[in-house]
């Protein structure tokens, strides 16, 4: 019998959403600075600032947006949406897209307050409070969609903070969403554990030689043992869930990175920050 799922079980993940908001101010991703300024009003722990994350965070943002927009799907459900501005920018640029941000109540309330402080929220952008492990919560988003048309589910940095039982529940929930009309799932969250080694080397602070150990001080859910071992491990997991995966290396984002130009780095110098990380396009296994 599965234990009861409570929002409180996952509240310690919320600081990681703040943690990833800061590096984005060093990119050209729209509204990153405005959102960060809004977060400062609530208090922003200095320990959450790590500028060196900028390259991988910009890479995953831009690749996910690129693949979703290229798919032609006009209904987007962003799970664990956090404090980013890409949903706002997408909706402002294309009024035909319906975009739902889905996150825990504490995040959604704060996000709406911040956005309203500097802009008008577009009519095609919606917010739903809930827990990604509860399908009943996800169903609240359906009132904004045409369920006869495909939905693209996207997320960044959710699954890495979940154990394998929780990963399975989220995967089952996403499957139910995208199976309604042959949608897709676009995420960076199936990056295998090997990336952690490079990440620790590239982005650790002067105070600590191990970034992921530092992250444990921010959230008790940064457990390296909860990562997939390799691509084969991921493919077996998804295959059992009747899903297939298309891998895209983070390095595909290099031509898109404004941070590369800001910091004056060459393509070769950027690669170590991105190597062994992936954005994945996940589809129903039975689709040709």
Q: Tens digits of per-residue pLDDT, 96-152?
A: 999 999 999 999 999 999 999 999 999 999 999 999 999 999 999 999 999 999 999
Inform me whether the pLDDT recorded for 213 exceeds 80: no
More confident residue, 270 or 203: 270
Report the distance separating Cα 88 and Cα 159, nearest Å. 23
What percent of the chain stands above pLDDT 90? Answer: 71
- pLDDT at position 204: 54
Q: Which two tokens stand for residue 234?
A: 């991921």
Q: Is 77 helix (H, G, I), strand (E, B) or coil?
A: strand
The residue among 19, 12, 215, 218 whose CA lies nearest residue 106 is 12
Q: How confident is the model at residue 3 (pLDDT cuts 50, 70, 90)?
A: low
Q: How confident is the model at residue 188 (pLDDT cuts 50, 70, 90)?
A: very high
Provide the H-helix boundaries in 230-288: 231-240, 258-262, 267-274
Across 157-181, average pLDDT: 94
Q: How confident is the model at residue 187 (pLDDT cuts 50, 70, 90)?
A: very high
Across 217-239, average pLDDT: 80
The residue among 127, 78, 90, 121 whose CA lies nearest residue 106 is 127
- pLDDT at position 189: 94
- Confirm if 253 and 286 have CB atoms less than 8 A apart: no
Inform me whether the pLDDT recorded for 29 exceeds 90: yes
More confident residue, 40 or 226: 40
- Confirm if 32 and 21 have CB atoms less than 8 A apart: yes
Inform me whether the pLDDT recorded for 72 exceeds 80: yes
What rounded mean pLDDT belongs to the chain?
Answer: 88
Inform me whether the pLDDT recorded for 58 exceeds 80: yes
Q: How confident is the model at residue 210 (pLDDT cuts 50, 70, 90)?
A: low
Report the distance separating Cα 274 and Cα 278, nearest Å. 8
């Amino acid at each position: 019998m599965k234990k009861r799922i409570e929002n409180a079980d996952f509240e310690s993940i919320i600081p990681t959403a703040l943690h990833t908001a800061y590096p984005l101010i060093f990119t050209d991703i729209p509204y990153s600075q405005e959102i960060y300024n809004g977060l400062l009003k609530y208090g922003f722990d200095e320990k959450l600032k790590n500028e060196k994350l900028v390259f991988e965070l910009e890479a995953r943002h831009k690749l996910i947006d690129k693949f979703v927009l290229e798919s032609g799907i006009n209904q987007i459900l962003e799970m664990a949406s956090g404090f980013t501005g890409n949903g706002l920018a997408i909706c402002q640029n294309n009024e035909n897209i319906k975009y739902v941000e889905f996150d825990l109540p504490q995040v959604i309330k704060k996000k709406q307050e911040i956005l309203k402080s500097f802009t008008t929220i577009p009519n095609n952008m919606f917010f739903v409070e809930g827990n990604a492990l509860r399908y009943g919560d996800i169903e609240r988003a359906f009132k904004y969609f045409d369920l006869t048309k495909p939905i693209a589910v996207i997320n960044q940095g959710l699954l890495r903070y979940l154990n394998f039982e929780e990963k399975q529940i989220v995967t089952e929930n996403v499957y139910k969403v995208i199976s309604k009309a042959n949608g897709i799932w676009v995420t960076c969250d199936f990056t295998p554990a090997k990336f952690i080694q490079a990440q620790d080397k590239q982005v650790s602070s002067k105070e600590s030689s191990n970034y992921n150990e530092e992250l444990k001080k921010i959230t008790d859910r940064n457990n390296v043992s909860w990562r997939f071992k390799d691509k084969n491990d991921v493919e077996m997991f998804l295959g059992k869930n009747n899903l297939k995966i298309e891998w895209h290396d983070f390095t595909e984002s290099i031509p898109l990175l404004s941070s590369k130009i800001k910091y004056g780095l060459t393509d070769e110098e950027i690669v170590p920050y991105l190597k062994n990380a992936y954005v994945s396009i996940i589809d129903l296994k039975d689709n040709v």
